[in-house]
Amino acid sequence: MEVIRKIKANDWSINLEDDYYEQNPLELIPAALDAVKSTASGYYVNLITPGCFGNPLDDFIPKLMSRLSEERIAVREVRYVDECGCGGHVTRVFR
């Protein structure tokens, strides 16, 4: 079955910082990949991840970059932005 995805032709954010991802950490990377795939070339998506997973530079970003490469999803840059006021972390992926 083919998945039809609406491509966002603007900069946007997705909140992956909720109880579901804290309880199902293996779902975090697939959700992030889906968000990146849904972002048009020339734009970025902010991926907000739970603070309980720590700094994204330590685990999330390396895993995300590996999967992006494996799936041949073209990106210009993956950048850690900062910790949010709520304790989560923002990673920005430029398409």
Residue 85 confidence (pLDDT) = 81
What pLDDT digit, counting tens, does each position of 14-26 carry? 999 989 999 999 9
Residue 4 confidence (pLDDT) = 56
Residue 82 confidence (pLDDT) = 95
- Structural domains of the chain ordered from first start: 12-94 (3.30.110)
* Token couple for 77: 């840059």
pLDDT lower than 70: segments of the chain: 1-5
Residue 3 confidence (pLDDT) = 58
The closest alpha carbon to 56, from 85, 95, 87, 20, belongs to 87
- Write out the chain in H/E/C secondary structure: CCCCCCCECCCEEEECCCHHHHHCHHHHHHHHHHHHHCECCCCEEEEEECHHHCCCCCCHHHHHHHHHHHCCCCCCEEEEEEECCCCCEEEEEEC
Considering the entire predicted model, what is its pTM? 0.91
